[in-house]
Chain A
Amino acid sequence: MQCGKPCLLIVVLMMILIGSGLYLTSKLLNPLADSPIVTHTGNSQSTPPFPPIPQPAGNLEQVLIVQTDPNSSCGTKEFVFSEQQLQALPQTSFKTKHTWANIAQEFSGPLLTDVLKQVCANARDIYLRSLDKYSVMVNFQAIAKYQPILALKVNGQALTIREKGPLWLMINTDEYKLPPRSLDNIFVWQLYYIRVLTSD
Chain B
Amino acid sequence: MLKLAYHLRYIYQWFLVPLMLVLIYTSAMNLVSTFFLLEKYRHETIWSLEHLNREIESTIHESQLYLVKASTLNQLRFQYELLWSRLPVVQSSLDQDPNLQHIPGLAKMVDDIFTRVKSMDPDFSSEQALNHTRLTRWISALKHDRENLTNFLVNDISAGNGRYSRAAWQDLLKSMIAVGLASLILFLVVGHLIYLLVREQKRQRIQIEQDSLTGLASRDFVISRLEALCKKRLDFCIVFLDLNKFKLINDTYGHQAGDQLLIYVARNFQATLTKIGTVGRIGGDEFIWLIPHTDQREIAYYYNQLTQNLQLPLQFGDKHLPASLSAGAVQASLCGYNPSKVLEAGDSAMYWAKSVHSPSIVWHGEIQSSNAIPATMI
B6 at the interface (CB under 8 A from A): no
B25 at the interface (CB under 8 A from A): yes
Interface size class of B (residues with CB under 8 A): 20 to 34
Residues of B within 8 A of A132 (CB): 51, 55, 82, 85-86
Residues of B within 8 A of A25 (CB): 29
Choose from A56, A99, A190 the contact partner of B82 (Cβ within 8 Å).
A190
Given contacts A24-B29, A25-B29, A99-B44, are A164 and B85 in contact (CB under 8 A)?
Answer: yes
Query: Contact between B89 and A100 (Cβ–Cβ < 8 Å)?
Result: yes
Given contacts A99-B44, A161-B85, are A56 and B92 in contact (CB under 8 A)?
Answer: no
Residues of B within 8 A of A164 (CB): 85, 88
Q: How far is the CB of B20 from chain A (nearest CB, A)?
A: 11
Given contacts A9-B14, A13-B18, are A29 and B78 in contact (CB under 8 A)?
Answer: no
What residue in chain A is nearest B89 (Cβ atoms)? A100
Q: Mark B39-61, 1 if CB is under 8 A from A, else 0.
A: 01000100000010001000000
Residues of A within 8 A of B195 (CB): none
Q: Kindly identify, within residues 78 to 131 of chain B, every residue whose CB is under 8 Å from any CB belonging to chain A.
A: 78, 81-82, 84-86, 88-89, 92, 95-96
A60 at the interface (CB under 8 A from B): no
Choose from B21, B25, B26, B82 the contact partner of A161 (Cβ within 8 Å).
B82
What residue in chain A is nearest B21 (Cβ atoms)? A17
What residue in chain B is nearest A20 (Cβ atoms)? B22
Choose from B21, B44, B74, B81 the contact partner of A160 (Cβ within 8 Å).
B81
B155 at the interface (CB under 8 A from A): no
Given contacts A102-B92, A132-B85, A181-B40, are A29 and B33 in contact (CB under 8 A)?
Answer: yes
Query: Contact between A190 and B32 (Cβ–Cβ < 8 Å)?
Result: no
B151 at the interface (CB under 8 A from A): no
Query: Contact between A190 and B40 (Cβ–Cβ < 8 Å)?
Result: no
A6 at the interface (CB under 8 A from B): yes
Residues of A within 8 A of B95 (CB): 102
A32 at the interface (CB under 8 A from B): yes
- Size of interface on A: residues with Cβ below 8 Å to B: 32
The CA of A15 and the CA of B116, in the complex, are separated in Å by 61
Given contacts A131-B82, A163-B85, are A55 and B18 in contact (CB under 8 A)?
Answer: no
The CA of A21 and the CA of B32, in the complex, are separated in Å by 14
Query: Contact between B85 and A29 (Cβ–Cβ < 8 Å)?
Result: no
Q: How far is the CB of B208 from chain A (nearest CB, A)?
A: 19
Residues of B within 8 A of A181 (CB): 40
Q: Kindly identify, within residues 52 to 94 of chain A, every residue whose CB is under 8 Å from any CB belonging to chain B.
A: 53, 55-58
Q: Mark B3-44, 1 if CB is under 8 A from A, else 0.
A: 000000000001000100110011001001100100010001
Choose from B33, B86, B92 the contact partner of A99 (Cβ within 8 Å).
B92
The CA of A126 and the CA of B192, in the complex, are separated in Å by 62
Query: Contact between A190 and B21 (Cβ–Cβ < 8 Å)?
Result: no
The CA of A131 and the CA of B83, in the complex, are separated in Å by 11
A162 at the interface (CB under 8 A from B): yes
Q: Mark A25-39, 1 if CB is under 8 A from B, else 0.
A: 100110010000000
B75 at the interface (CB under 8 A from A): yes
Query: Contact between B81 and A55 (Cβ–Cβ < 8 Å)?
Result: no
Query: Contact between B82 and A17 (Cβ–Cβ < 8 Å)?
Result: no
A1 at the interface (CB under 8 A from B): no
Please give me the 10 A-B residue pairs with the lowest Cβ-Cβ distance, nearest first: A161-B81, A57-B78, A56-B74, A162-B84, A100-B92, A13-B18, A162-B85, A28-B33, A132-B82, A28-B29
Q: Kindly identify, within residues 90 to 148 of chain A, every residue whose CB is under 8 Å from any CB belonging to chain B.
A: 99-102, 131-132
Query: Contact between A101 and B74 (Cβ–Cβ < 8 Å)?
Result: no
The CA of A162 and the CA of B79, in the complex, are separated in Å by 10
Choose from A14, A21, A131, A160 the contact partner of B25 (Cβ within 8 Å).
A21
What residue in chain B is nearest A189 (Cβ atoms)? B85
Residues of A within 8 A of B32 (CB): 28-29
Residues of A within 8 A of B84 (CB): 161-162
The CA of A189 and the CA of B82, in the complex, are separated in Å by 11
Q: How far is the CB of B250 from chain A (nearest CB, A)?
A: 40
Residues of A within 8 A of B36 (CB): 29, 32
Ordered by A's residue number, 16 sampled pairs between the chains whose C-beta atoms are within 8 Å are A17-B25, A21-B25, A24-B26, A28-B29, A29-B32, A29-B36, A55-B78, A56-B78, A101-B92, A131-B78, A132-B51, A132-B55, A161-B78, A161-B82, A164-B88, A181-B40
Residues of B within 8 A of A14 (CB): 18
Q: How far is the CB of A121 from chain B (nearest CB, A)?
A: 32
Q: How far is the CB of A9 from chain B (nearest CB, A)?
A: 6
